Amino acid sequence: MAYFIVQGGKKLKGSIKVNGAKNGALKSLAASLLFKDEIKITNVPRIEDVFRAEELLRKLGCEVAQKNGVVTVNPEKIKTASLDPEIAKRFRASIVFIGPLLARKGNASFPHPGGCVIGKRPIDLFLEGWRAMGSKIEETKNGYTLSAPRLMGCDFTFRNISVTGTETLMMTATLAKGKTILRNAASEPEISALAKFLNMCGAKIKGAGTHAIEIQGTGGRPLEAKGKTMQTIPDRIEAGSFLALGALLGDPLRITNCDPEHLEVPIQTLKAMGVPLKKGESWIEVSSPKKLKSVDIKTREYPGFPTDLQSLFALLLTQAEGESLVHETVFEGRLNYAEDLNRMGAKITVCDLTRALVRGKTPLRAREIESPDIRAGLAFLGAALIAKGESRINNIYQIDRGYERIEERLNKLGAEITRVNS
């Protein structure tokens, strides 16, 4: 397994470009299964989860090509409706392929989802939605088998807001017969971008970006791209990650190719902490202040504070003066990184599965740590960058799942990170 060797105490200065959204690209790749003809997706990040998604499509029988971040998918020769279990278990977003596959083929099967270990992430909302559309579902010891010769539109309310659930059922309903209404739906920018492109290609989706989405299905008729291109929007989580790193080490750090409107709550949080910050239409510049103020953070669904930035901002709070409360409301168990940061010198008290007290300011010392998931992995990289001495970060496959060539990009800004392939 590859690992990073990180020399701490280096400032980050210069400009870094944000890549296409991981979550947007993965859903666009899944949406290719709704099409009759070839679909082209641009600004696709070259990260491990995208590689796995492309492998899944090839295993299904699709033709997939990639050049310079442009991915072309031709779904005409789909030969199976079963996700390859070895690939699907490696990333959580594999489940979003099931909705389009079920709508396209009338049946689908998949293993129990894998991905990050960040608490319970049940799939019952997906199953409830598919049942409401008329699908029969059989659970086996290896996974699930779905059968729906004719999907019907329905009026479905999510018991809890689910981003992947909203995207998956929206795509499923696109080819169903009749009207579907999704209530208490998620409102992330990636959902609006996907709906906009599907509408360009013949879908009839209203309300994407709100909590009530209405879809008039095609009755089983696949969409047609006819040469149209899906542009992946900038990754707001990557942009927010760079904001946190800039607040820790920026001298200054300018983040380009981003949409500041997608990060209003994290930006306001940084301002409350006393972080110098400037922004334009597609850029944000941030510097590390002489003194950071403590603030409380509570994660929420968009447009609230993103759960995917929680661990990085908790790291930032270890360098703030005073005591802060971090309250995780989206994924229980997402505070499991705290023990490793404490071994580096942080003072984080985990109160329960959802709350932690962070006491600062505490200097961090270098040590060997292991990435438990994508976002905590990057938080550990940030911790190593501000720690005194040389750190080793293991299991960096988790970081590679969400961040493209992160060590090369940060080294250009002044970091000293070495990738070692063991």
Supply the residues annotated as catalytic: 116
Q: Is 396 helix (H, G, I), strand (E, B) or coil?
A: coil
Which residues neighbour 61 within 8 Å (Cβ) at sequence distance 6 or greater? Answer: 77, 78, 79, 80
DSSP 42: E
Sequence-ordered alpha helix ranges (H) in 274-364:
310-317, 338-343
Residue type, 43: N
Residue 15's alpha-carbon distances to 18, 159, 253, 256, 410, in angstroms, are 10, 42, 6, 7, 10
**Euclidean distance between CA atoms 141 and 131, whole angstroms:** 20
Hey, which residues does 210 pair with through a beta bridge? 208
What is the rounded CA–CA span in Å between residue 358 and residue 215? 44
CB 22 within 8 A of CB 237: yes
Written as six digits, the tokens of 213 are 């989405």
How far apart CA 267 and CA 32 sit, in angstroms, is 34
**Among 167, 169, 166, 173, residue whose Cα is nearest residue 223:** 173
Please enumerate in sequence order all residues whose Cβ is within 8 A of that of 376, keeping only pairs 6 or more positions apart, or say none. Answer: 311, 336, 337
Give the Cα separation of 198 and 226 in Å (integer).
Answer: 12
